[in-house]
Amino acid sequence: EAKKAGRNTLRFFDPAMQKALEERVDMENALRQAITKQQFQLFYQIQVDTQGYPLGVEALIRWRHPSKGMIPPSDFIPLAEETNLIEMIGQWVLETACLQIKAWADCSFCQHLTIAINVSAQQFKLNNFVEIVQKTVERIGIDPAKLKLELTESMVLINVEDAITKMKQLRALGFYLSLDDFGTGYSSLSYLKQLPFNQIKIDRSFIVSATFDSIDAFLVHVVISMGQKFGMDVVAEGVETQEQFELLEILDCKAFQGYLFGKPMSGGDLENLLVNTPKSSATATHPA
Ligand code: C2E
Ligand code: MG
Ligand code: MG
Ligand code: MG
């Protein structure tokens, strides 16, 4: 027993562990100050129609860390969720996206664009989530139809009744609801019928395998036709190759997002791209 305790004590002073612990605390402190230090930035990735014409964008957060450089969301959103900092960050994302929609109202190349934001489970489960979103949009003064809220199956399944209530309220207020990463969760197709989504985003993993796995191609086809039956828009995520794009067109997909059409970029870079992309030849972004 003494030997065991000794080992545990030794483990506690393990320098590698100690270092990992310190790094986590440093990250948490840095994350806590990142908003006031204006270190967050929204990048925007275009979503296009079959002609390559931009329909809207998805806002994707980046953290410009003073010494570590640009940090992707996968490296700090989990920590933000564990520490509840996600509520503050989520509010910043919501406000920044609304302000961008407002700024684009005066830009003839951008005014038609919708912005989709990723909502975290911790934000969505708040009792006043609907009120928070509505108040923010009202205060900034934008059309709710321009804002898309991306939710995932897993966050809806935490409490389906509560989720449906909130979703119906959001729909009644004019917001557009999108189901992100579809196919990676566990919900059955019949569940989907009860959930008032406007849009399904087919996860990148299916798009990748569809070109060489005929069963996955069939599944993509099933999701697209199911979306059409339910009156939901369907977007293919993570389209990287012309081959994937052509297959998706055959499967009757009408909206696309992925590196083939554009990587996530700053608002300024996006404006430049749109100004230099005539509507009629938007297909120039992915020559056939
Ligand atoms: P997501 O919402 O599914 O976003 C799509 C991710 O796929 C983005 O990664 C995007 O850059 C990447 N992507 C887009 N097209 C392609 C492609 O053709 N190939 C490949 N390999 N990847 C592609 P990103 O920006 O690193 O974001 C990762 C995840 O972090 C997002 O997945 C979302 O779940 C989360 N996230 C991003 N921004 C926010 C935010 O503001 N709030 C919250 N709560 N989560 C966010
Ligand atoms: Mg998303
Ligand atoms: Mg996704
Ligand atoms: Mg994802």
pLDDT tens, N- to C-terminus, the chain (288 residues): 444 555 555 556 788 888 888 988 999 999 999 988 999 999 999 999 999 999 999 999 999 998 999 999 999 999 999 999 999 999 999 999 999 999 999 989 999 999 999 999 999 999 999 999 999 999 999 999 999 999 999 899 999 999 999 999 999 999 999 999 998 877 667 778 889 999 999 999 999 999 999 999 999 999 999 999 999 999 999 999 999 999 999 999 999 999 999 999 999 999 999 988 766 444 444 443
- Closest atom of ligand 1 to 72 CA is 26
For residue 206, the CA-to-ligand 1 centroid distance in Å is: 16
**Residues with Cβ–ion distance below 5 A, ligand 2:** 118, 150, 180
Give exposure, 174-203, as e/b (b: 16+ Cβ within 10 Å).
ebbbbbbbbbebebeeeebeebebbbbbbb
Instruction: Give the ligand 1 atom nearest the CA of 257.
Output: 15
Q: Is the CB of 9 under 6 A from ligand 1?
A: no
Whose C-alpha lies nearest to ligand 1, atom 37? 60
